[in-house]
Structure 1
Amino acid sequence: MAGGILVIGDVINDIVVKPFGPIARGTDTRATIRHTNGGSGANQAAWLAALGAEVRFAARVGSTDKNRLTAYFSGLGVEPCLAADDDFPTGQIVCLIDPDGERSFLTDRGANAQLDADDLPPSLLDGIEIVHISGYALFEPGARAAVLDLVAIAKQRDIAVSIDPASTAFLAEVGRADFIEWTRGADFLFPNADEAALLTGKIARQEQWPLLLADYQTVVLKFGGDGALLATRDAEPISKPAKSVVVQDTTGAGDAFLAGFLAARLRGEAPEACLELAIHSGARAVTNIGAQPF
């Protein structure tokens, strides 16, 4: 692999539930229920491969799922580097989808939370141009230490580092000051509106990106239906509107957006073109139920 991207993140067995109406407490509610592969890191790796990037994906899964998931990711064009856990199962999420497409998660991180240094050898960086970290890999102490050790080696090798904050609930749990300390100096940060507000303490978007640029080289703010903004330290910010599509499920939209941006970046495209592909990919993701390419 040359000029590729290493994604470090989570693998989740998604149980996606879209009720036909309000949930009737204590009785039945008709719904569409799908079992799909997911996890922020897994989704990002899948979308990157679908967009033509050379992708290596490192994660930890339950031992009974390793062969199946290795074959699955290989079939997507992703190079899987999956560690097997004999004690914890692959992570699971129940994803509840509102009628407007918004989603809420019930999360069991399982083997994802057990990621350790043995799972992330420096050889993972061979041939890599960008290391992308899903924020979920930073929320457990052991996994965080292993990830940050590998990030330090990446920086020594002049490999760019990208961060997705991933979860406002987990960000609030660990605290914004610590998260920024762990990730300060990253080349790319991809927060959504809520994550940017939590990391800066500011609601107004025009106040968020200047504060974030104090700690990150490039900030790409995701605003869902309101589009996105790209800010760097040496140029005026670039804003683009969202595409008009019929929303079925917003699960994985941010992962597809991020993958579009980084795939274009790996091809050497200009910042505006990177943002355009990001928005196109995010729009494609919301038109189908499930978090990975279809």
Structure 2
Amino acid sequence: MTALAEPCTRPVVVVGDVGLDVIARPRGPVNLASGTPSNVHLAPGGAGANSASWLAWAGMPVTLLARIGDDEAGRAARRELESRHVRCAFATDRVRPTCVVVVLLDASGDRTMFPDRGANEGFGVEDVDLPGLGMEPVPVPHLHLSGYVLFDEGSRAGGLSALRQARALGWTTSVDPQAAALIEAVGARTFLEWVDGTDLLLPNERELAALGGLRAVLAHVREVVTTYGPHGARWVGDGFEDTARAPHVDHVDATGAGDAFNAGLLSVWLSGRDRFAALRAGIEAGSTACLRLGARPS
């Protein structure tokens, strides 16, 4: 496939995790406390890095703010992202290793993840200097934040600082909540306080339910795009609603599909096109991500 949108001069800064995914697909039933023959694949990962890669694939100028370990995994992650034309504004952690996530796939391509966030846990206020990135005020940059940064106590202050700095600079903002279970652990009210004033929230259906539903969320953010897996996506704001259906795809690996959806949608929305076109672009990117192992565009 080709990129979803024409190259756009409006820059995006992504704040989120970067690391490696170890993807295991058992060839049969899992034998607990024993061995299970499997197909194992090593791939670059991290929600922030995935979205940044898909944004670059769609022709967007993109910078990724993240933290890596002082190790070969971190250096490889940087090289891979830079080869995709992602600008890497990374802090290097001298103690924690680069993030690694074990991804267990079932027969339908759905995944269970076992993350070790490593250096991502150390992402802090000192790692966030949006004015120092040298972005021009016109066209207005956009900040996209992965919710994983907020859920971790170690990186939360850095994520909140990024949102505050972006608003102070007049940038637009978006947040992906990422995980219903993590919302339930901290409480919907707490999470919505963290993202209060955000322009666009990007939950899936389960995350929206965990947040208390559409009305509760719209009391804190301006617009909401909810994904419904094979049933498409819906965009709701003050006085408008757009929906788009999803095509049938044979899932290979759903890892990173939400990150790809975010990037496809943002690449079109930030280029000035209408919301329905942005929904379609998000669905196309998310569907494409499901067709192959790993969370990055080919």
Contact 1:227 1:239 in 2 (8 A): yes
* Equivalent in the alignment of 1:103: 111
In structure 1, the partner of 2:40 is 33
Deviations along 1:106-152, whole A, 9 cap, x unmatched? 11111101001221113237236210000011123342222222321
Residues 113 and 9 (structure 1 numbering): CA distance in 2 closer, same or farther, change over 3 Å?
A: same
Q: SS of the counterpart of 1:149? A: helix
Partner of 1:203: none
**5 Å matches for 1:123-272?**
123-124=132-133, 126-127=135-136, 129-200=141-212, 208-235=213-240, 237-272=241-276
Residue 286 of structure 2, aligned match among 282, 288, 291: 282
Identity among equivalent positions (%) equals 34
Equivalent-residue separation in structure 2 for 1:125 and 1:133 (angstroms): 19
User: How big is each residue's C-alpha offset from its partner over 1:196-227, in whole Å with a ceiling of 9 and x where there is no partner?
Assistant: 11001xxxxxxx32332221111000111111
Assess if the C-alpha contact under 8 Å between 2:142 and 2:173 holds in 1.
yes
Alpha-carbon distance in 1 for matches of 2:141, 2:129: 16
The 2-side partners of 1:50 and 1:2 are apart by 14
Secondary structure of the structure 1 residue equivalent to 2:155: helix
Equivalent-residue separation in structure 2 for 1:105 and 1:181 (angstroms): 27
The ranges of structure 1 where at least 4 consecutive aligned residues each deviate by more than 4 angstroms after the TM superposition are: none
Q: Name the counterpart of 1:76.
A: 84
Match of 2:60 in 1: 53
Kindly indicate whether residue 8 of structure 2 is the aligned counterpart of residue 4 of structure 1: no
TM-score, with structure 1 as normaliser = 0.93
Q: Point out the structure with the larger helix share.
A: 1
Distance (Å, rounded) in 1 between the aligned partners of 2:293 and 2:162: 34
Contact 2:19-2:77 at 8 Å conserved across structures: no
| Aligned positions, number | 286
Q: For 1:261-281, what per-residue CA distance to the aligned partner results, in whole angstroms no more than 9, with x for missing partners?
A: 001112111111000100111
Q: Secondary structure at the match of 1:112?
A: helix
Tell me: CA distance 1:125–1:143, structure 2 relative to 1, closer, same or farther (3 Å): farther
CA distance in 2, matches of 1:284, 1:162: 22
Which residue in the other structure is 1:121 paired with? 129
CA contact (8 A) 1:11 1:39 kept: yes
Matching residue's letter, 1:191: P
Q: Which amino acid aligns with 2:176?
A: D
CA separation in 2, counterparts of 1:89 and 1:77?
24
1-structure distance, mates of 2:10, 2:58: 15
Equivalent pair of 2:260/2:285 in contact (CA under 8 Å): yes
TM-score by length of 2: 0.92
SS in 1 for 2:263: helix
Q: Which moved more, 1:134-143 or 1:255-264?
A: 134-143
Larger displacement relative to structure 2 (131-140 or 59-68)? 59-68
Q: Secondary structure at the match of 1:88?
A: coil
Counterpart CA distance in 2 for 1:142 and 1:93 is: 18
The alignment's C-alpha RMSD in Å is: 1.5
Structure 1's 179 and 268: CA in aligned 2 closer, same or farther, altered over 3 A?
same
Give distance in 2, aligned partners of 1:120 and 1:163.
16
Please give the secondary structure, in 2, of the residue aligned with 1:221: strand
Are 1:92 and 2:100 counterparts? Answer: yes
